[in-house]
Amino acid sequence: MKLLYTVRGKYDKDNYDNFSWDKYKDWSRMHQLDEIVSLDGMLNELLVEPDYDNEDDWNFIHTFDNYQTGFFTDLEYVFKRLIRLENYNLLAVVIEPKEKCESIDLLDYEFIGYDLLDQDFGISALTNCGGFDETFLPSEMNSKGLIDDFEKAYYIKEKLLINNPEEHHADTNVVAVWRNKILGK
């Protein structure tokens, strides 16, 4: 299991830009949300800013099939390149986990669910595609906009692509997500 790190901006009733929290909940039909803790770059912006001209930075930027993921291999590096020190979530992630992550304890982190990111690692099929009701319903997401169960995450991943073969955001990666209990929030 390869653990990676990222820092994302918060999106909840107190932290939003142009799209109000209540409008988002109405649009998404996820009224159970108390916060979105997604890896979606539009809803929870990446707060780590690598220096792409610095060759050493590339030692810490994680890529997957030639795509930058917005995940990083070293926690110290993440804090070195953090652009904001308030209203953020420090996250640990695993791309395409091979085992259930719900019961894996990481020191100072809590498991919060699985996200389904498109192959570009930019958009979450769960929180930012307007819904795929033929595959899953908004009510199936937890209070953070994620899926709680390993098997269900992979089932949705499989059915999304079968049901929507022409939709770019339906070809996804399952990403397990833990949030730091001490830093951020």
DSSP 138: G
Read off the pLDDT of residues 142-180 as tens digits, 9 standing for 90 and up. Answer: 999 999 999 999 999 999 999 988 888 889 999 999 999
Output Rg (C-alpha) for the chain, integer angstroms.
16
What global pTM score does this model have?
0.94
Does residue 29 come out as left (phi exceeding 0), alpha (psi in the -120 to 50 range) or beta? left
Task: Read off the pLDDT of each residue in 10-28 and give the average, rounded to a whole number.
Answer: 83
Q: Which of 62, 79, 59, 78 is nearest to 70 (CA)?
A: 62
Q: pLDDT tens across 60-94, in order?
A: 999 988 889 999 999 999 999 999 888 899 999 99
List, in sequence order, the alpha helices (H) in the chain: 21-28, 75-80, 150-163
| Res 17 pLDDT > 70 | no
